[in-house]
Structures are given as structure tokens and as C-alpha cells.
């Protein structure tokens, strides 16, 4: 049978999603749809690569040696750990200290950047929510949280309060943000009297139905908007509770959608 542009052949270049777990991930379906839309499916294909934390180094070492491996989206829990395993970082990734997409250069060098923060802000503003002048509460201090914290600051949020189960990680993120944006008010404690324009979950809490909430329950009565980074389920328990209380909600899907084309281009996909 004659080959068509949608066929996977010996010339197909492989893209990956490096994460654990991957079963719930939307990236492969979203990337496939975009590749098909631009007539590039078959020239490229994106595959889920279930990668436990202990195997991350071995997986990257193997991918370096696969000549038709073009790059990978990096998701939880690897966005911070992968930084030390790469050959080069973009200035944005160096500032944030995290990576969510990797490109393999022809010589096997792995180059990483981070697009989570800009993707989150782009999705938020496209939905009609303002970042400029906003008081923001951010749960998390990992890779996605770091990228979002820097993007919120870069886009002019008025204040940023970071809460995290491990306070030392929150302090480290706050220090990096203060260094990059010394004029920004950065706090580490959610005062019960504080009110927010946006409360943002940048942790993995919500992926499982029995996960605790990333915020104290009373936060839902002190914020105008609750926003997620978790994409599956799209309506997490946090968003359902916020919606039930009449609080505006913003799912994690727009963040991923806003950066998918950017991630594919970074990995060398020549979208037509």
C-alpha cells in the first residue's frame, strides 16, 4: 500500500511524554491532533513514556542514543529533577530551575526549556482573567509552580503568597522570585484574613479522588478565582468545591493547550 503523510514509517521521528503516571495524560492526544491538523503526523509521533523517578537518568541516557528521537514533553514528577541531567538550559529554564520540554540535537545533546508559566498565564488571560495587579495564592514549589510564580511576577501580579507542604522548598522558590523581581511582595504564609484574586493549584493534588485539597478549605471563601494545573480529571475536587460555592474556576487544560504548539516547535516539529 502506498505511503501517506499520516503513516508511521521508518523515517518517523519520535517524540515522548516523560512522566509518572502517564495513563491520564492528555498531551499525546493533543499533540496527535495538532500534528494531524498541520499535516505532520507520520513525520512525527508522540508516545507516552512511563518513567518512574528512579529510572529518569537511565531513560535519558537511552534516548540520547536513539537517532530519531526528537524530544519530549516533561511532566510530573520530573520537571525539577531533569534539570541536572541535561546538557543545556534556556535562560528561562535556568531562572525557573525547571524544564517541561526537552529537545535532542543531532549530536545527542539534550536541551531543555520551560513553557508552563507562559502557558498558564496565556490560558488565564484568554479566559478573561487578569494577572496584572492581582493578589495570587500559589500552592506548590515544584517545577510547574516555579514556572508559574515567575510568569505571574513577570506579568505584573501585585503580590504572591506561596504555600507548600515542605516549607524549605517554598522558601527556596520565594527567594528565587524575590531575586528576579525584588519589587514584588512575596509571602510564605496564608493569613486567614487575606483575600485573593486567584488561588492556583500547581501541585499534583487532585489527580486522585482521595487527594487532600491543596489549600485550606476556607481559602475558597476568600478568593475570586480558583485555577488548576491538573488536567485529568479536568474538574478536580478543588474546582468542584469552588464551583459549588459560586467561585469562578479555571481548569488546567488551557495551560496545556496554550503551550502545545510552542512545545512541538521547540522539539523541532516544522508545523506547516
Strand 13-19 to 101-104 pairing: unpaired
Backbone angles phi, psi at 13, to 5 degrees: -95, 140
The enclosing H or E element of 187 equals strand 185-187
Backbone angles phi, psi at 128, to 5 degrees: 95, 10
Report the Cα–Cα distance between both ends of the chain, in Å, rounded. Answer: 25
Strand 225-228 to 198-201 pairing: parallel
Catalytic residues: 79
E strand residue ranges, the chain = 13-19, 44-50, 69-74, 88-89, 101-104, 110-113, 135-139, 159-163, 185-187, 198-201, 225-228, 248-250
Backbone angles phi, psi at 161, to 5 degrees: -110, 125
Which of 104, 108, 111, 68 has its CA nearest to residue 88? Answer: 111
Q: Is the dihedral of CA 266, 79, 23, 212 positive or negative?
A: negative
Amino acid at each position: 500500500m502506498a505511503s501517506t503523510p499520516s503513516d508511521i514509517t521508518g523515517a518517523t521521528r519520535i517524540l515522548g511524554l516523560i512522566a509518572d503516571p502517564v495513563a491520564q495524560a492528555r498531551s499525546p492526544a493533543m499533540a496527535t491532533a495538532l500534528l494531524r491538523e498541520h499535516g505532520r503526523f507520520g513525520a512525527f509521533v508522540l508516545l507516552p513514556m512511563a518513567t518512574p523517578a528512579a529510572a529518569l537518568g537511565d531513560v535519558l541516557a537511552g534516548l540520547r542514543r536513539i537517532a530519531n528521537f526528537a524530544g519530549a514533553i516533561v511532566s510530573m514528577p520530573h520537571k525539577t529533577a531533569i534539570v541536572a541531567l541535561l546538557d543545556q538550559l534556556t535562560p528561562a529554564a535556568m531562572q525557573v530551575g525547571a524544564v517541561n520540554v526537552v529537545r535532542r540535537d543531532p549530536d545527542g545533546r539534550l536541551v531543555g526549556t520551560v513553557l508552563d508559566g507562559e502557558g498558564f498565564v496565556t490560558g488565564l488571560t484568554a479566559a478573561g482573567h487578569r494577572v496584572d495587579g492581582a493578589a495570587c495564592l500559589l500552592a506548590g514549589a515544584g517545577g510547574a509552580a516555579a514556572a508559574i510564580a515567575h510568569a505571574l511576577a513577570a506579568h505584573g501580579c501585585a503580590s504572591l503568597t506561596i504555600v507548600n507542604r515542605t516549607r524549605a522548598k517554598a522558601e527556596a522558590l520565594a527567594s528565587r522570585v524575590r531575586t528576579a523581581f525584588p519589587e514584588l511582595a512575596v509571602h510564605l504564609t496564608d493569613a486567614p484574613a487575606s483575600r485573593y484574586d486567584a488561588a492556583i493549584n500547581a501541585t499534583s493534588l487532585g489527580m486522585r479522588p482521595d487527594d487532600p485539597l491543596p489549600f485550606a478549605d476556607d481559602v475558597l471563601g476568600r478568593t475570586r478565582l480558583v485555577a488548576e494545573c491538573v488536567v485529568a480529571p479536568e474538574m478536580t475536587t478543588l474546582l468542584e468545591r469552588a464551583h459549588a460555592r459560586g467561585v469562578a474556576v479555571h481548569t488546567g487544560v488551557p495551560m496545556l493547550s496554550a503551550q502545545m504548539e510552542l512545545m512541538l516547535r521547540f522539539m523541532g516539529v516544522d508545523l506547516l
